[in-house]
Amino acid sequence: MPDIMETLRAALTASGDVLMRHFGHVEAEHKGPIDLVTVADRESEAAAVAAIRRDHPGHAILAEESGGQRVSGAEWRWIIDPLDGTTNYAHGMPIFCVTAGVEHRGEVVAGGTFSPATDELFLAERGAGATRNGERIRVSSRAGLGEALLVTGFPYDRREHVDYYMAQFGAFLARSRGVLRLGAAGMDFAHVAMGRLDGYWERGLHPWDVAAGKLLITEAGGCTSDFRGQPFDVFGPDFLASNGLIHSAMLDVIASCPPWDG
């Protein structure tokens, strides 16, 4: 899919340029009590959409800030998060990205994540592997949960369900080498895909947070599922990704914790 991959690269880098232009001097607005949005989110999304519309005007688009842009009969759909890690971004923390997945007839067949602050572009195409800045990447080979460095996130409803989230965090902290919380799901997936981290879990994400990450992980040799070990659904409520070797152990830890209390 050279045309799709070229458009994906162009959309991600155009969005990244917008984000870096505003980084360090942008005011945030509130979408919710702890859910922020900035002018950079909106301009980044507009840049990505423009790149896609230029090359593929018949494709549908689902983007975080503008929602769904339906195209009658479209077999292709782009799922875009123009700024993943908005809270980090608004505070001047250089851990954020733009991420996009491309569906064909409901299946994600291409995806990419661009970290403009570190100039890292992660791309994946179904059946063709995953890359970072053009070099092939693979998940880690750590086989024991006790040697694993994990990452997670806390959704925007964490104030209402803090006990649920902290029970899982504590259980993994007691059984792993360490647990990070970086604040940008797209980067979490990318770090697992290239073997920097070994596993990731989170509840309460949206399709634009996970569409690219799912493909990056699987094309880098890893494993994805929901919290019960069922197939990973970008519209699902919970998401687990790993190097594959510790996947069952991570599922066991989640199963040992109290169930969702919502």
If you average pLDDT over residues 76-97, what whole number do you get? Answer: 94
Rounded CA gap, 1 and 7, in Å? 10
Rounded CA gap, 8 and 61, in Å? 13
Question: So where are the chain's domains?
Answer: 2-136, 145-256
Which CATH fold topology does 145-256 show? D-Maltodextrin-Binding Protein; domain 2 (3.40.190)
Which pLDDT score, from 0 to 100, does residue 50 have? Answer: 96
Rounded CA gap, 98 and 84, in Å? 6
What is each CA distance from 194 to 12, 37, 41, 122, 145, in whole angstroms? 19, 29, 26, 9, 18
If you average pLDDT over residues 234-254, what whole number do you get? Answer: 96
Rounded CA gap, 189 and 203, in Å? 14
Could you tell me the pLDDT band of residue 34, with boundaries at 50, 70 and 90?
A: very low
**Residue with the two structure tokens 């799901």:** 185
If you average pLDDT over residues 162-181, what whole number do you get? Answer: 95
Share of the chain above pLDDT 70, in %: 90
User: Over 80: is that where the pLDDT of 152 sits?
Assistant: yes
CATH number of this structure's domain 2-136 = 3.30.540.10
Which pLDDT score, from 0 to 100, does residue 2 have? Answer: 75
What is each CA distance from 79 to 59, 186, 218, in whole angstroms? 11, 13, 18
Backbone φ and ψ for 76, nearest 5 degrees, come out as: -110, 140
Please state, as a whole number, how many other Cβ atoms lie within 10 Å of the Cβ of residue 225.
21
Give yes or no on whether 2-136 and 145-256 have one common fold: no
If you average pLDDT over residues 134-157, what whole number do you get? Answer: 94
Write down the mean pLDDT value for the chain: 91
The one-letter amino acid code at 100 reads: A
Per-residue pLDDT tens over the stretch 51-73: 999 999 999 999 876 655 555 56
Q: Which of 10-14, 122-126, 160-164 has the lowest mean pLDDT?
A: 160-164
